[in-house]
């Protein structure tokens, strides 16, 4: 393997709800016979049993370093531990070159010593270890009392084999979607972004050859299989958050019956083409931002008043025109969505974000710039862009993007332009072979659908119907309309459903349920 690749890849630091016949006040069931419930005449087979690792990894306590890395507080009464393992770069060459995969485990004093771990991935959305910190600090931490949760960071992004293959100018151009400090027309942005994306593709291909296509969801799934083998267990209980759902479904397709439980937390539309994924994301994230504006308007002292969407549009318009120091419209939107996605479930967290937005609208951009820098570190490292480009199917032609910018901006004023422009980020990059949808599943999935997810929106779950039909699976879907990334992390009700699902899948009762925000 080329020395540059080794340097790029291997260098790294080392209140619940009642469920069942009497769901109680926290779980709102829907459906029933004739509305999606399992036919009584055909009881499904039980899902595979999950077991604790026969040979575990070497864990070390890392709560302080993890909290410091992400600029968050240490979760109370939760043990955070870190480990790593080696996984083949090419899943078809198990004895070939390997890269180091970082894993982070959360558990409590109540977690049984012999409990089977649940493996969490948030794919290329952001480091899975960061998503785990949201879980460990939120209401969903109730799941840790029954099972440890092990987060596997996606290959290519810190801390798992960090990829460094772009120039500083390419990164900056991609992060701003082609906007210059003085502003630019849509066509000028597209041309500038396309040029940077093509150049970055050439540089990353040169750096990563012959592994430039080995960072897709399918190869990330192979890292989970390496972990399963390393643990010496027959099946994995899998949690895919956001784009991590693609990794989990790829695992179920590539490794058949090894997926003992499949929990898809606000999933993305597996197998959908680039245009459809971007449009669904624009619409769903717009809904999340409207929800934020409405929620803020009910809080005392919200500086956005009753027109939060209007204030955010004003900030993005000024940034697009080059009138806000240190901010493009893309970076400002990334700052807002990422902060909202990860914010603690407290009114003061929403008010802090609202103050940063309001200050930027008045010309004081310092607070929002800091949030934008933090968001870019989480969501736009080189490896994340490489991974997303590896997964692109049905790329959109550059000449089509201006029309999409115009049409989507009318549909989704805050997010439409950004989603359309972002399609150009993978210009010139050769995508890998897409993983086919699984033809069968050893366990009917559990879908937790957040309708106000600021990262991917909440429309991906409905798009998975053909995937489940292809696998002859009948999922149970739990809807939650609170704000934030990951339903499990933020809902003790959802944590209770997950605990029951892990204990005795398939779940009985209605297949359409709801948890209160």
- Domain CATH code at residue 139: 3.40.50.1820
Q: Give pLDDT, residue 42.
A: 58
Give the Cα-Cα-Cα angle 368, 370, 376 (nearest 5 degrees). Answer: 100
477 within a domain of the structure (yes/no): yes
Residue 462 C-alpha from the chain's centroid? 17
Same domain? For 492 and 374 the reply is no
- For residues 394 and 462, membership in a common domain is answered with no
DSSP-derived secondary structure letter, 506: S
Confidence of residue 46 (pLDDT cuts 50, 70, 90): confident
Same domain (yes/no): 457, 340: no
CA distance 17 to 170: 48
Please identify, among 394, 426, 458, the residue that sits at the C-terminal boundary of a domain.
426
Q: What dihedral angle (degrees, nearest 10) is formed by the CA atoms of 160, 166, 171, 177? A: -100
Asked whether residue 388 is assigned to any structural domain, the reply reads yes
- Adjacent-strand bridge partners of 448: 265, 478
Task: Verify that 234 and 303 share a domain, yes or no.
Answer: no
Report pLDDT for 16: 33
Measured CA to CA, the distance from residue 161 to residue 98 in angstroms comes to: 10
- Same domain for 475 and 404: no
**302 plus 256 within the same structural domain:** no
- Say how far apart CA 461 and CA 93 lie, in whole Å: 34
**194 and 94 both lie in a single domain:** no
Q: What are the tokens at 487? A: 């339903």
Same domain? For 228 and 348 the reply is no
Looking at residue 83, what is its pLDDT? 98
Q: What pLDDT score does 14 carry?
A: 31
Q: Tell me: the pLDDT tens digits for 424-451?
A: 999 988 877 899 999 999 999 999 999 9
Same domain, 299 and 253: no
- Confidence (pLDDT) at 431: 79
151 SS3 class = strand
Q: Compare 504 and 9 and report the one with higher pLDDT.
A: 504
Residue 23 in domain: no
Query: What are the tens digits of pLDDT across the range 11-38?
Result: 333 333 333 333 333 444 433 333 333 4
Q: Is residue 281 part of a domain?
A: no
**Of 405, 396, 410, which is closest to residue 194 (Cα–Cα)?**
396
Q: Please give the pLDDT value at position 43.
A: 63
Extract the runs of DSSP E, i.e. beta strands, from 296-445. Answer: none
In a shared domain, residues 354 and 311: yes
The verdict on residue 38 lying in a domain is no
Structure tokens at 170: 């390419």
Q: Report, as an integer, the average pLDDT of 89-113.
A: 96
Cβ-count burial of 97 within 10 angstroms (0-12 exposed, 13-18 middle, 19+ buried)? Answer: middle
CA distance 383 to 11: 13
Across the chain, what does the average pLDDT equal? Answer: 91
Count how many residues are written for the chain: 517
The verdict on residue 113 lying in a domain is yes
The Cα–Cα gap between 292 and 343 comes to 11
State the Cα–Cα distance between residues 388 and 398, nearest whole angstrom.
18
Confidence (pLDDT) at 20: 32
pLDDT in tens, 372-422: 999 999 999 999 999 999 999 998 999 999 999 999 999 999 999 999 999
User: What average pLDDT does range 123-143 have in this prediction?
Assistant: 97
Please indicate, yes or no, if residue 1 is contained in any of the structural domains: no
Between CA 12 and CA 100 the distance in angstroms is 8
User: Given its phi and psi angles, is residue 271 left (phi above 0), alpha (psi -120 to 50 degrees) or beta?
Assistant: left
* Cβ–Cβ < 8 Å for 83, 105: yes
Domain hosting residue 148, numbered range:
51-161+215-271+434-514
As to burial, measured by CB atoms within 10 angstroms (0-12 exposed, 13-18 middle, 19+ buried), residue 29 is middle
Averaged over 131-160, what is the pLDDT?
97
pLDDT over 80 at 41, yes or no = no
Pick the more confident residue, 230 or 181: 230
Q: What angle do CA 47, 50, 55 make, to 5 degrees?
A: 155
Q: pLDDT tens, 269-323?
A: 999 999 999 999 999 999 999 999 999 999 999 999 999 999 999 999 999 999 9
Same domain, residue pair 264 and 384 = no
Strand 446-452 versus strand 98-107 pairing type: unpaired
Q: Which residues pair with 450 in a beta bridge?
A: 480
Q: Mean of the pLDDT values across residues 223-247?
A: 98
List, in sequence order, the alpha helices (H) in 123-236: 128-137, 168-175, 186-208, 217-231
Closest listed residue to residue 286, CA positions, set 336, 323, 236, 352: 336
Which pTM value belongs to this model? 0.92
Task: Tell whether the model's pLDDT for residue 190 goes beyond 50.
Answer: yes
* Residues 318 and 391 both lie in one domain: yes
Average pLDDT over residues 332-349: 96
Q: In this predicted model, what pLDDT tens digit does every residue of 47-86 receive, in sequence order?
A: 999 999 999 999 999 999 999 999 999 999 999 999 999 9
Q: Is residue 21 part of a domain?
A: no
The number of domains in the chain is: 2
Query: Among 391, 426, 461, where does a domain finish?
Result: 426
Domain limit, last residue, from 365, 397, 426: 426
Quickly tell me which residue has 């900030």 as its tokens.
315
Sheet holding 476-483, edge to edge: 28-30, 512-514, 476-483, 446-452, 259-265, 236-241, 118-121, 149-152, 98-107, 79-88, 60-61
Banded pLDDT at 182 (limits 50, 70, 90)? confident
- CB neighbours (10 Å) of residue 406? 13
Structure token pair of residue 334: 């990334």
């Amino acid at each position: 393997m080329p020395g540059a690749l080794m340097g790029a890849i291997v260098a790294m630091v080392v209140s619940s709800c009642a469920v069942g016949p009497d769901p109680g006040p926290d779980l709102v069931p829907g459906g029933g016979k004739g509305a999606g419930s399992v036919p009584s005449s055909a009881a499904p087979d039980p899902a595979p049993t999950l077991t604790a690792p026969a040979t575990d990894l070497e864990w070390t306590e890392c709560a302080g370093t993890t909290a410091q890395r992400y600029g968050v507080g240490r979760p109370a009464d939760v043990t955070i531990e870190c480990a790593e393992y080696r996984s083949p770069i090419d899943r078809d060459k198990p004895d070939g070159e390997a890269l180091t995969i970082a894993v982070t485990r959360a558990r409590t004093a109540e977690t049984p010593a012999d409990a089977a771990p649940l493996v969490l991935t948030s794919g290329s959305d952001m480091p899975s270890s960061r998503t785990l910190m949201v879980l460990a600090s939120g209401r969903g931490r109730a799941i840790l009392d029954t099972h440890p949760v092990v987060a596997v960071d996606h290959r290519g992004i810190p801390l798992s084999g960090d990829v460094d293959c772009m120039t500083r100018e390419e990164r900056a151009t991609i992060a701003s979607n082609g906007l210059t400090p003085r502003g630019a027309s849509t066509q000028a942005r597209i041309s500038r972004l396309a040029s940077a994306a093509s150049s970055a593709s050439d540089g990353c291909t040169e750096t990563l050859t012959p592994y430039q296509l080995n960072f897709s969801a399918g190869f990330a799934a192979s890292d989970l299989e390496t972990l399963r083998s390393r643990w010496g267990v027959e099946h994995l209980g899998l949690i895919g958050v956001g784009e991590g759902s693609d990794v989990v479904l790829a695992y179920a397709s590539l490794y058949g019956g090894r997926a003992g439980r499949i929990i898809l937390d606000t999933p993305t539309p597996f197998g959908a083409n680039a245009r459809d994924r971007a449009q669904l994301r624009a619409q769903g994230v717009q809904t999340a931002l409207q929800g934020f504006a409405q929620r803020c308007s009910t809080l005392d002292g919200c500086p956005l008043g009753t027109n939060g969407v209007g204030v955010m549009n004003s900030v993005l318009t000024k940034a697009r025109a080059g009138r806000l120091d240190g901010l493009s419209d893309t970076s400002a939107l990334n700052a807002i969505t990422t902060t909202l996605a990860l914010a603690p479930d407290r009114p003061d967290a929403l008010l802090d974000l609202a103050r940063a937005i309001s200050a930027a609208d008045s010309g004081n951009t310092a607070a929002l710039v800091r949030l934008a820098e933090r968001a870019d570190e989480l969501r736009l490292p080189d490896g994340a862009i490489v991974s997303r480009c590896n997964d692109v199917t049905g790329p959109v032609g550059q000449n089509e993007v201006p029309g999409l910018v115009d049409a989507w901006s009318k549909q989704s004023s805050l997010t439409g332009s950004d989603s359309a422009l972002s399609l150009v980020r993978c210009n010139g990059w050769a995508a890998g072979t897409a993983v086919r949808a699984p033809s069968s599943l050893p366990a009917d999935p559990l879908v937790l659908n957040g309708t106000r997810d600021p990262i991917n929106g909440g429309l991906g779950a409905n798009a998975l119907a053909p995937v489940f039909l292809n696998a002859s699976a009948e999922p149970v879907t739990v809807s939650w309309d609170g704000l934030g990334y990951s339903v499990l992390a933020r809902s003790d009700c959802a944590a209770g459903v997950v605990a029951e699902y892990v204990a005795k899948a398939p779940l009985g009762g209605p297949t359409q349920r709801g948890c209160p925000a």
